Amino acid sequence: MATSNFHNKNASAIFAVEIEDEWAYDDLVENLESEFNKHSDYYGYGKSDPNELRSFPSKSLGSFANVITIGEDTIDIFVTPVIRNGYYGGCNLDWNVEYCVNGYNDDTYSDDSKTLEVVNNYVEFIENTYSQYSQPLGVFATFSNGETLYHLLA
């Protein structure tokens, strides 16, 4: 039985990167972290990947963090860039969002316009960076055996 090569959870495209060896992987990680460090809200340490699967191991690349107040609640917003191994080869670039309300994991405000604005600004920066280091793909078709065909995005 076949499976899709990439596990993409949140990104608007499958930001695919062909990796030839471990040095190419290390270079990709260093390049992305260097780009992310240009943003004032980026921290080199981050959250783990809640969407990691055994067949698709991943590495978090730090986190973008911001704190906003809505009413009496303090909301910590973390957007974590992720590099996830492909099943057969290469890797894809994704991201995750986590909300903490008054110190507890809670997505109560995930649809609030204030939190969405913060998240969307980080995601736009992350995905623009990804597009410089990857080939954005879309899923053309997935067959019943799991085999997937991809197409290039403009």
| In contact, 109 and 70? CB cutoff 8 Å | yes
pLDDT of residue 95: 98
Domain limits, the chain:
14-152
Q: Which fold has domain 14-152?
A: Alpha-D-Glucose-1,6-Bisphosphate; Chain A, domain 4 (3.30.530)
Beta bridge partners of 101: 75, 104
Angle at 143 between CA 141 and CA 145, to 5 degrees: 150
The tens digit of pLDDT for each residue in 118-146 reads 999 999 999 999 999 999 999 999 999 88
- pLDDT of residue 7 exceeding 80, the answer is yes
**Phi and psi (nearest 5°) for 29?**
-60, -50
Beta bridge partners of 58: 84
Q: What is the mean pLDDT of residues 102-116?
A: 95
Whole-number Å distance between alpha carbons of 98 and 65: 10
Q: Over pLDDT 90: what percentage of the chain? A: 92
Q: What is the mean pLDDT of residues 7-26?
A: 96
pLDDT bracket for residue 2 (50, 70, 90): confident
pLDDT of residue 81: 98
pTM (predicted TM-score): 0.94
Cβ partners under 8 Å of residue 115, min gap 6: 68, 70, 75, 77, 99, 109
- The average confidence (pLDDT) of the chain is 95
- pLDDT of residue 91 exceeding 90, the answer is yes
pLDDT of residue 146: 85
- pLDDT of residue 1 exceeding 70, the answer is no
Q: State the pairing for strand pair 42-43/63-70.
A: antiparallel
Q: What is the mean pLDDT of residues 48-70?
A: 95
- pLDDT of residue 47 exceeding 90, the answer is no
